Amino acid sequence: MFGCIISALREMRMRSQIFLFEIIILLFVLVLAGAAVYVEIRIFYYISTHSSETIISNLDIKQINQATSLVSHYIKQKHQRRIHVLEHLSSFLKTYQILTNQFTKLKSLESCEASEEFVISEYSLQTPKLCYQLHGVPDMVTLPKNNQNISLLYKGLSLFNEYDLLFSIETPYFIQVVDTSDYKIDVVYPIGMLIKGYDPETRPWYVNHIKQMKAHPDEIYFYSEVYKVFFESFDYQFSITHSLFNSQQQFFGIAKTMLSTNDPSFEYVLYNIILINYAGQVLYNGMEMGQNLTDIFYVFNETITGFNETDWYQIEEHATYRLGGDNPNQILILYNKYFQKYVHVQSEKFKKENFTLIMYIVKLLYQIYECEFNQNYGKIVLGN
């Protein structure tokens, strides 16, 4: 076949041979130019996509760092507001004991309603008040004589009840005050009931407070682990408890406020949020999950959070490293087993509370924009 082509070329006129040769050269130049343009486009495309990935990845990191700082500030301020209420209550009781003769009591503290007659009505929710019950006596309301602790709490909080409108009327804004004597007076706000068999001394928050006081005698408030409320509740709670001291600086009681593990505000944050305590127990969560969580769980439960114990240790080390101030903008990239993809993770340590805030993003901005970028770029540059 090649010989036939040579013979055909020899039979052609010189002018035709030159013309054919020029056509071949022209085609070669066009192919070479096309190849060069294609290579240039691919190089530009590679640089553009990777530059976009780098820019958007940096933007992801910057945004998650800013979001972590804001959420951290929100949680700390939320807790601090509760702690301030307990501190003011403690200060008020101490002042009342010193200046008791200068106070005029307007009305007595009412007992809580019997549990069999207790119905949470709209009126009850809108008219918060302090009420008491007494553990250790048959009727749960008769006050013992000559008990200074109970007398201080009863009379002091009776006067304090005049200012209950200074508290939030939201049901989750719960306050409970108990003394540490054998006959325990138990004062609750904004609503309460007489519960037979209830003993504050056996509750997780009370046990934790006494334990923490022995371990940290210089501290006055502590965080409990997550627990279920004694009566029926829609979710789990954890508590902040504050030591109460009389004018002689003697420990005589505990003031407590509860916080729900569900915070509706986290629904408006475009990141997954987990707040854990020293044991890895989840206190708050705002995660993209199709699960209805109604029980206590831990950060290393990978069927829920997507992280295992090894991830937890890395997150804790990272938070501690950032606490030292070395490269605070650095993030972790961990594989989330629930979503089955790598995620950007930022963590921050709450030094006083020994909590760790974890925030991560599943759908990175690069992943969101990559497909759209590729499609638009292909249409404009490659003509697809």
pLDDT tens profile 269-325: 888 999 999 999 999 888 876 565 667 889 999 988 999 999 999 999 999 888 877
Amino acid at 329: N
Q: Which residues of the chain have pLDDT under 50?
A: 52, 122-123, 169-171, 365-366, 368-369, 377-384
Residue 368 has what pLDDT? 45
CA–CA distance, 66 with 120 (Å, rounded to integer): 41
- Identify the three-state secondary structure at position 278: coil
Between vectors from CA 296 to CA 197 and to CA 186, what angle results, nearest 5°? 30
Which helix (H) or strand (E) segment holds residue 352: the answer is none
Residue 40 has what pLDDT? 65
Global pTM? 0.75
Residue 178 burial (10 A CB sphere; 0-12, 13-18, 19+): buried
Owner of token pair 């030159």: 18
CA–CA distance, 116 with 128 (Å, rounded to integer): 20
Residue 241 has what pLDDT? 95
DSSP E strands in the chain: the ranges are 110-111, 113-114, 131-135, 174-179, 184-189, 193-194, 221-223, 237-245, 251-260, 272-276, 282-286, 332-336, 341-350, 355-361
Q: State in Å, rounded, how far the first CA of the chain is from the last one.
A: 39
Residue 380 has what pLDDT? 42
Cβ-Cβ contacts under 8 Å for 367 (sequence gap 6 or more): none
Amino acid at 245: F
Owner of token pair 């343009």: 37
**Nearest residue to 82 via CA among 162, 158, 154, 172:** 172
Owner of token pair 């108990």: 178
Instruction: Count CA atoms within 13 Å of residue 335 on its CB side.
Output: 3
